[in-house]
Structure 1
Amino acid sequence: MKKSLLTLIALIAVVAAGGWWFTRPKPISVRVHRVETGRVEATLANTRAGSIESCQRTKLSTIAGGRIEYLGVKEGDRVEAGQVLMRLWRDDLSARAQVAEAQLASAKSRANEACTVADNAEREASRQEALAAKGFVSSSRAESARTEAKARRTACSSAQKDIVTAERQVAAARADLSRTVITAPFAGTVAKIVGEVGEYSTPSPPGVPTPPAIDLIDDTCLYVKAPMDELDAPKIKTGQAVRIRLDAYPNRVFAGHVRRVAPFVTALEKQARTVDVEVDFDTPDEAKGLLVGYSADVEVLLEARDDVLRIPTAALQEGNRVLVIPADGRLKAQQVKPGLANWEWTEVREGLSAGSRIVLSLEKEGVKPGAYVVEESAAGGK
């Protein structure tokens, strides 16, 4: 009887064990990270895409309006400082300038004549005064000669002033001519031209934006301008190291540094308030060939620590908790004390040790404290 009871109990135990085995929860396959030491940086990134800018860029228009008579460049052309890029029809102004130059030449001729006569009159007055002193001529004649010399000298002075007036008229005529010409203020590349030969070019009146005739950029000197959130701006200082990434070159990272933080906040409708930060390339030669207007992202390095315990930032849950995998495979929530952090890594000051296993697959259903899990690589090997 006793033996039969023991057999029955053993049979029940086997059935129960088999029932647990076949009904046990299936372990969840998760990605696992083993905690280790490494470098952690505190960084800031721009809120909206920045862009490559030129150190010099100017949008040129003629001061006066008129029909385009000469267009000496095409879009993409390299130009030198002082090179004539565009000229309007100006035959009327050229004629006026020629008249002014002729008047200047005439004024100089008259002044030369008047001053020559004045010099001769002064010599004659001196001669008459010498003769009067010796009694060869009357004193009245000497006085008359001196008066004549003064009058001639006054005429000479007036004629010289007429030269100044004529020079001013020539300068004004040339200024009018310059209003019809666009010259390059610096060496650069023509980015855009609005207008063709024979078309009418109109300068932009006050308060009315008009496309410039020529957009000129200096692509030998480039920098990055990026908008930073106004809350982050106080942490950014000139000279801080920066990493620059461009959509056009996804596999390259350019080193740079902050050269300027705007002293004002930019407020755009329906967008966050930002502060523009300007960044220089540490190696300007690396920026050669980049196009003005490329979108760019800036990551400002605030602080860095080497050889600290770190975990992927994505593994950190609300309340600074992570899911740790103990030896029995049952997930356990562990509170940690974070330090420096960025979008990739977070420093762990307390709560974990090197070699601890934490879960990265937080998005999987059922991944929570108490769940039974296995590492993906281990699950694949079974």
Structure 2
Amino acid sequence: MESKPSSLESLRIDRSQTPLKSSSGKAWWVILTVILLAAGAFFWTKRPQAVAVKTAPARVQQGTGGSSAKTLLNATGYVTTRLDATVSSKVTGKVAEILVEEGMKVEKGQVLARLDDSNVQTALRLAEARLESSKRALEEAEPALAYAEAELNRLRGLEQTRAVSKTDYERAEAEARGRRAGLERLRSEVTVSERQVDDWKQQLDDTIIRAPFAGVVTTKDSQPGEMISPISAGGGFTRTGICTLVDMKSLEIEVDVGESFINRVKSGQPVEATLDAYPSWKIPCKVIAIIPTADRQKATVKVRVGFDQLDPRILPQMGVKVAFQSDEAPEPVAANAVLVPKDAVAKSSAGKDIIWVVREDKVERRAVTLGPEQGGDLVVKAGVSSGDAVVLNPPSTLEDGAKVTLEKSR
């Protein structure tokens, strides 16, 4: 008979078997790892991003000190010419020869083209033949008149002594008077023939087209074989010009200035011009005249600006920006002044001039004191040193101490 275990024996733990591992502890470690990874990813994405900026070094103005005039008004315009023409002919005709090409320099009176002159040559030869015939007839009439006058003089002496009848004397007198009138008529015919020859010579000369002034050919408007006329042919294929000629010595700038700002412009005022094709080239100019009328549709007044010195790079119809300068004494600029580009200067929220300077991949905001403009740059009196990398066109979201990546622009 089997004995029953005691109550104390039933409560004993059997350690002969391997205990089971807890699955709940392992789950907590997995959850903690996921949370840490998520937090790391969140902070990685929210970390400050480096801003890409363009920079340029602040530089020192070399040489002895200079001066800079104050700009009163900026405007835009175009290069124009006071003397240009579409060269045509005085007569209608067919182009036989063109002696110019675009870009060619010509002198005043130089032959540009020739028209077909075959018909004019024929008419000129006919007029010359008529002139020769008139001269021959005149040569025949002169001896006849001389004989008639001599006969009249002889009979006049005989008529006084009654040795000849009055009828014979009157006949001789009428003959001399007729010869004299005929000679005058022939002389008039010679004059008329000479005028006709001159007229046809002028028409022949009109078939030769010459330059009315010295200049440069900018366009070639017709070709040999085409018809040309000084007036429009109305729907046909007749050209009205041989070429366009421009006097490069008459170049100037035309600017439309708003009515509200015309009081800042006066004749003789200094102007600084900048061609769109050469933005770094500052061209000294001056105001020639203010046209005394306004455009009511555009509310502008036209201003003529002349170049102090012409240059082959200046071409008609080029776009140009002009800065009307003050004629007061310019503010002096120190010889070693620090210069920065215009687009490096920004405004703070308080309206102060500031410049962002890059140091060790971070930007610093600098309050600056600006001087006059010098050669397209601005003089910085305080706040920036030579060699500092200044940010060009700084974004409005840029903050002090922000990280940046550099890209040099000049």
Structure whose alpha-carbon radius of gyration is higher? 2
In 2, distance between residues paired with 1:212 and 1:117?
A: 55
- Contact 2:269/2:327, CA 8 A, preserved across alignment: no
Q: Report the CA distance shift for 1:134/1:266 in structure 2 as closer, same or farther (over 3 A).
A: farther
Query: Secondary structure of the residue that 1:250 maps to in structure 2?
Result: coil
Q: Is residue 282 of structure 2 the alignment partner of residue 247 of structure 1? A: no
Query: Secondary structure of the residue that 2:222 maps to in structure 1?
Result: coil
Alpha-carbon RMSD across the aligned residues, in angstroms, is 4.8
In 1, distance between residues paired with 2:264 and 2:143?
A: 77
Name the amino acid aligned to 1:252: W
Task: Name the residue aligned to 2:245.
Answer: 216
Q: Is residue 305 of structure 2 the alignment partner of residue 279 of structure 1? A: yes
Task: Name the residue aligned to 2:86.
Answer: 59
Task: Name the residue aligned to 2:114.
Answer: 87
Structure 2 counterparts to residues 165-244 of structure 1, below 5 A = 165-201=192-228, 203-205=230-232, 212-219=241-248, 221-231=249-259, 232-233=261-262, 235-244=264-273
Task: Name the residue aligned to 2:5.
Answer: none
Task: Name the residue aligned to 1:258.
Answer: 287
In 1, distance between residues paired with 2:250 and 2:288?
A: 12
Aligned residues: 315
- Contact 1:72/1:85, CA 8 A, preserved across alignment: yes
Q: Deviations over 1:175-227 (max 9, x none)?
A: 443454321112333222123323444554188896632112233x1422222
- Which ranges of structure 1 fall in alignment gaps of 5 or more residues? 1-37, 325-330, 332-339, 347-353, 368-372, 377-382
- Bigger CA drift: 150-159 or 255-264? 255-264
Q: Report the CA distance shift for 1:225/1:133 in structure 2 as closer, same or farther (over 3 A).
A: farther
Name the amino acid aligned to 1:77: M
Moved over 4 A (4+): 206-211, 312-318, 320-324, 354-357, 360-363
- Which ranges of structure 2 fall in alignment gaps of 5 or more residues? 1-66, 333-341, 355-364, 366-371, 385-390, 404-410
TM-score calculated relative to the size of structure 2: 0.59
Name the amino acid aligned to 1:301: Q
Match of 1:104 among 87, 110, 131: 131
Task: Name the residue aligned to 1:13.
Answer: none
- Bigger CA drift: 81-90 or 227-236? 227-236
- Contact 1:63/1:179, CA 8 A, preserved across alignment: yes
* Deviation for aligned residue 1:323: 7.1
* Deviation for aligned residue 1:95: 0.9
Q: Report the CA distance shift for 1:80/1:136 in structure 2 as closer, same or farther (over 3 A).
A: farther
Name the amino acid aligned to 1:189: V
Name the amino acid aligned to 1:194: D
In 2, distance between residues paired with 1:316 and 1:150?
A: 107
Q: What is the percent sequence identity of the aligned residues?
A: 25
Structure 2 counterparts to residues 1-382 of structure 1, below 5 A = 41-48=70-77, 50-53=78-81, 55-201=82-228, 203-205=230-232, 212-219=241-248, 221-231=249-259, 232-233=261-262, 235-266=264-295, 272-284=298-310, 287-288=311-312, 290-307=314-331, 322=352, 364-365=396-397
